[in-house]
Structure 1
Amino acid sequence: MMSTPPPPISEPDPSALTCPGDRVGLCSGCQRKTHKYGSGGCPLCQWCMAPVQEKWGPGVGYTSTRG
């Protein structure tokens, strides 16, 4: 369980600050800027992903459908 509440939506996910700008997109859950595209990207920011991982386990992820 996360002890600190997520910052305002105007604050990007930390992953958006460390990835190339062309890989930044909006979180599918809260619309916060996050590392969405390319290698290491995820459709959800870390705050939206946390409850999903809690429910499904640490191995949850997504499968790329692009060859």
Structure 2
Amino acid sequence: MITSVPPIAEPDPSALTCAGDQVGLCAGCQRRTHRYGRGGFPLCQWCAEPVKAKWGAAVRFLSTRA
């Protein structure tokens, strides 16, 4: 099912369900998304789709923080 991508001004749905201090900008399109903390991801769901298609659904990023 292909859905249209909403305007950048609209946040990723994950940003609406997490604490405000865990919201950040998507590394790809700068949309507000759940970026920090447990369950955070540096990409919004629309930017993550092509990455997951290329690398598989289990793609994760490694934190560079100690």
Aligned residues: 66
Tell me how far apart the structure 2 counterparts of residues 22 and 32 of structure 1 sit (CA, whole Å). Answer: 15
TM normalised by structure 1 equals 0.92
* Residue aligned with 1:16, SS: helix
Aligned to 1:9: 8
TM normalised by structure 2 equals 0.93
Which sections of structure 1, spanning at least 5 residues, go unmatched?
none
Which sections of structure 2, spanning at least 5 residues, go unmatched?
none
Amino acid at match of 2:31: R
Aligned Cα root-mean-square deviation (Å): 1.0
* Residue aligned with 2:16, SS: helix
The ranges of structure 1 where at least 4 consecutive aligned residues each deviate by more than 4 angstroms after the TM superposition are none
